[in-house]
Amino acid sequence: MLDYRIDTFLTLCEQMNYRKTADLLHISQPAVTQQIHHLETRYGQKLFEYENRRLVKTEAAVILERYARAAKLQEQDLLQKLENSPVRTLRVGATKTIGDYYLKAHIRRYLQSPDHALTLIVDNTKHLLRLLEENELDFAVVEGFFDKTRFDSFLLHREPFVGICRKDHPFAGREVTIEELLEETIIHREDGSGTRAILEQELLGYNESLQRFQRHICISSFNIILDLVKQGLGVSFVYNILADSDPELAKFSMRGKHVVREFNVVYLKYGDIQEKTRLFLEGVDPPSSDRA
């Protein structure tokens, strides 16, 4: 079992406040201080400092946090195996395009075995990364940007990122200029989603932003976005797999831009997920364990 002081350390990493940490753990504030001091003595490194009266993690704390979270995940795996249960449960996160469209075949195949159970959380990239850090997921499959200093990953798939419009829209099947695009109503996902981050990055390449559109509409549901586009109420940008899912949609591209993005399997640094990803993603070679 992990040292109980590691739980205190991880809670303090989340709260960055000794009093709040003590309240959450139902112990005294001096007890929190004592436990952190014990870890600092054990590892020979200062873990927290104050800068302008604000508590901050040292570089040693950042490294310890990553190892500790991976160790807690491995401990959960160990406890599950020691229970000797015949059913193996995986906790997988996926962004909406990936969860609702791309992973369907993998999910069906995995669940054909009566020994397999699954918890699948479909949400935006930002929320999934937070769940990973809180050990609520084994791994996540995302198309958005993520901090590679905080997470390890491997490439699962590459998918074109395209514009969509109504079939009879003037953009249908065309390359359009940024000036033409800005005259349209743009329908996009919420802040924190991978597709929105990619769209904003592409606009930045033209020194433009969402605010420059004639009108912009923020919707968190792809089903609603597709319906609005089909009704001629705006245009949007999605992955090709989603654009091809409805015959009433037409595709367009930005002039000179053919954007292809990665779907990545993301997991905690120093974690070993070979067995889990092999179970869930048949035919995909995960990284070797010596990478972790």
pLDDT average, residue stretch 274-283: 83
pLDDT average, residue stretch 36-56: 92
pLDDT tier at 228, thresholds 50, 70, 90: very high
Closest CA to 74 of 284, 212, 274: 274
pLDDT tier at 48, thresholds 50, 70, 90: very high
Handedness of CA 214, 218, 224, 225 (dihedral sign): positive
Give residue-wise pLDDT tens across range 75-92.
Answer: 777 776 666 667 788 999
pLDDT tier at 69, thresholds 50, 70, 90: confident
Task: Name the least confident of 69-78, 165-174, 186-195, 244-253.
Answer: 69-78
pLDDT average, residue stretch 133-146: 89
Q: According to the model, what pLDDT value does residue 288 have?
A: 59
pLDDT tier at 144, thresholds 50, 70, 90: confident
pLDDT average, residue stretch 264-270: 88
286 pLDDT more than 70: no
Q: What is the DSSP string of 152-181?
A: EEEEEEEEEEEEEEETTSTTTT-EE-HHHH
1 pLDDT more than 80: no
Q: What is the DSSP letter of 68?
A: H
Give residue-wise pLDDT tens across range 98-107.
Answer: 999 999 999 9
Q: According to the model, what pLDDT value does residue 207 have?
A: 93
Compute the distance between CA of residue 245 and CA of residue 205 in angstroms, rounded to an integer. 29
The three-state DSSP-derived secondary structure of 240-286 is HHHHCCCCCEEEEEECCCCEEEEEEEEEECCCCCHHHHHHHCCCCCC
* Pairwise pLDDT comparison (135 vs 249), residue with the higher score: 249
Backbone dihedral angles phi then psi of residue 201, each to the nearest 5 degrees: -65, -40
pLDDT tier at 283, thresholds 50, 70, 90: low
Residues in Cβ contact with 104 at an 8 Å cutoff, skipping those fewer than 6 apart = none
Burial of 287 (0-12, 13-18, 19+ CB in 10 A): middle
Count other C-beta atoms under 10 Å from residue 100's C-beta.
16
Q: According to the model, what pLDDT value does residue 291 have?
A: 43
Structural domains of the chain in order of their starting residue, each with its CATH number: 4-68 (1.10.10.10), 79-156+262-291 (3.40.190.10), 158-261 (3.40.190.290)
151-179: string of b/e by CB count within 10 Å (b at 16+)? bbbbebbebebbbbbbeebebeebebebe
pLDDT tier at 122, thresholds 50, 70, 90: very high
pLDDT tier at 19, thresholds 50, 70, 90: very high
Q: What is the DSSP string of 83-148?
A: TT-S-EEEEEEE-HHIIIIITHHHHHHHHTSTTEEEEEEE--HHHHHHHHHTT--SEEEESS---T
Q: According to the model, what pLDDT value does residue 190 have?
A: 92
Q: According to the model, what pLDDT value does residue 290 have?
A: 42
Count other C-beta atoms under 10 Å from residue 211's C-beta.
7
Compute the distance between CA of residue 191 and CA of residue 241 in angstroms, rounded to an integer. 22
Q: Is 256 left (phi over 0), alpha (psi -120 to 50) or beta?
A: left
Over the chain, what is the mean pLDDT? Answer: 89
32 pLDDT more than 50: yes
Closest CA to 193 of 103, 91, 100, 96: 96
